[in-house]
Amino acid sequence: MMIDKFGRLQIQIYRETDNPLPEYKQDGDAGMDIRSNEDVTIRGFHWETISTGLYVIIPHGYEGQVRSRSGLAAKHGVHVLNSPGTIDSGYRDELKVILMNHGQWAYVVKKGDRIAQLVIKPIVTADMVEIDKGQHIIETETENRGGGLGSTGVQ
């Protein structure tokens, strides 16, 4: 892991595009803009996987999250389908973005358009420890969270 003189994490990146590298628009922003490396038309109610031409090396102990851009979602009904998409530290292939068009009309993505955001986050890893059913009931009976989806009620 590399940290620069300002205490910022350094992410290694290789690009097969003439688009700018992902960048924060303003100081304090959480997400860096990711741009399309191709022209793509996304038909209404369909999705496309879009090339970025970027290959990132996320340091061990971190993940990259690919998230929707709120402007695309609000204005056009277009968002990252598996948002947030996770880039694991061991992933070395091209970063691609799956965009979904929830609108009825086609949405055209041009090369260089900002299509998503990249957020770098530290991760916590966990070990699963199996317990028996009796321990589960004892540990959780005061919480009463049984019932599955929506078990705390729907507002």
pLDDT at 131: 87
pLDDT at 106: 98
Q: Which architecture, in CATH terms, is 28-124?
A: Distorted Sandwich (2.70)
As a whole number, mean pLDDT of residues 15-35 equals: 95
Please tell me the least confidently modeled range out of 16-25, 53-62, 134-143: 134-143
Both tokens of 76, joined, read 């056009």
Both tokens of 56, joined, read 């990132």
As a whole number, mean pLDDT of residues 69-96 equals: 96
Q: What is the residue type of 3? A: I
pLDDT for residue 8 is more than 90: no
pLDDT for residue 137 is more than 90: no
As a whole number, mean pLDDT of residues 123-144 equals: 76
Domain residue ranges in the chain: 28-124
pTM for this one?
0.83
For all residues of the chain together, what is the average pLDDT? Answer: 90
List Cβ neighbours of 76 (8 Å cut-off, separation of 6 or more).
Answer: 101, 103, 107
**Other Cβ atoms within 10 Å of 50 Cβ, number:** 23
Using CA atoms, how far apart are residues 139 and 40, in angstroms rounded to an integer? 52
Using CA atoms, how far apart are residues 37 and 99, in angstroms rounded to an integer? 14
pLDDT band at 66 (very low <50, low <70, confident <90, very high): very high
Q: CA dist 59 to 2, 35, 52, Å?
A: 8, 22, 20
List Cβ neighbours of 126 (8 Å cut-off, separation of 6 or more).
Answer: none
pLDDT of 104-114, one tens digit each? 999 999 999 99
Could you tell me if 20 and 35 are in contact, meaning their C-beta atoms sit under 8 angstroms apart?
A: yes
pLDDT for residue 83 is more than 70: yes
Q: What is the residue type of 69? A: R
